[in-house]
Amino acid sequence: MSRSILIVDDDPHILEVIGFGLDKAGMKTTTATDGQQALSTFNAGEFDLIVLDISMPELDGLEVCREIRKTSEVPILFLSSRDEEIDRILGLEIGGDDYVTKPFSVRELVARIKAILKRTGSNNVPEDTELPLRRGSVVLEPSQHRVSFNGEDVALTATEFSILKAFLDQPTRAFDRNQLMDKIYDFNIHVSDRTIDSHIRHIRSKFATMGCAQLIETVHGVGYRLGSCQ
């Protein structure tokens, strides 16, 4: 079954080239040209991932992401013509999974999309082939792409899910940022240290609101390790 991708950008040429690249990779694509249309299209269909431009008329991409995150954890990859760090971190903090700056390589964009989709699970992987991972009251079920704390679901993005799984797979290990990048990003994709830090902050914040403030600990001079929540 091919994956369904929603591409949102106000530039027809960008819609065309991304659509061509994804169609060639065997994915089904739908397009929208502004923020309002993006929300309407998303609400009317089922999508495995959204490629979302930040600078658009009607509603910008960040506002669209905020609205979608109220009801869905569908993976979102941001596009932007701005390469300022604040844009990158803001996009990830509100629930984005990755970030690509214009101009970009379509091959790299497709690779990043494939990496995100791989982290959400494959249609070819039989259910229940991976046992749940546990740490105190935290339970991660890989085959269902589900995380819970004290029996209550925790909504994580695909990238956040992969980071937490890396910790739970090796619960006694301290990871530096490069090791975490290697765990969650395929295709030799480069992301900044700040990107990993942003995802970690987001995971911590979600668990802290549920009463679990020590799930991921900082190891000064090294990186991060798994803590515990009862």
Residue range 49-99, pLDDT digits in tens: 999 999 887 789 999 999 999 999 899 999 988 766 666 667 777 888 888
Cα separation, 112 vs 161, whole angstroms = 16
Helix (H) / strand (E) containing 226: strand 223-226
Q: Looking at the predicted structure, is the pLDDT value of residue 186 above 60?
A: no
Residue 16 reports pLDDT greater than 70: yes
Report pLDDT for 39: 96
User: pLDDT tens, 187-202?
Assistant: 545 566 677 888 899 8
Give me the helices (H) in 170-229, please: 177-184, 193-208
List the domains of the chain with CATH numbers: 4-119 (3.40.50.2300), 133-226 (1.10.10.10)
pLDDT of residue 98: 85
More confident residue, 165 or 128: 165
Which residue, chain included where needed, has tokens 């970030």?
A: 99
Residues recorded for the chain: 230
User: What's the sign of the alpha-carbon dihedral 154, 182, 126, 107?
Assistant: positive
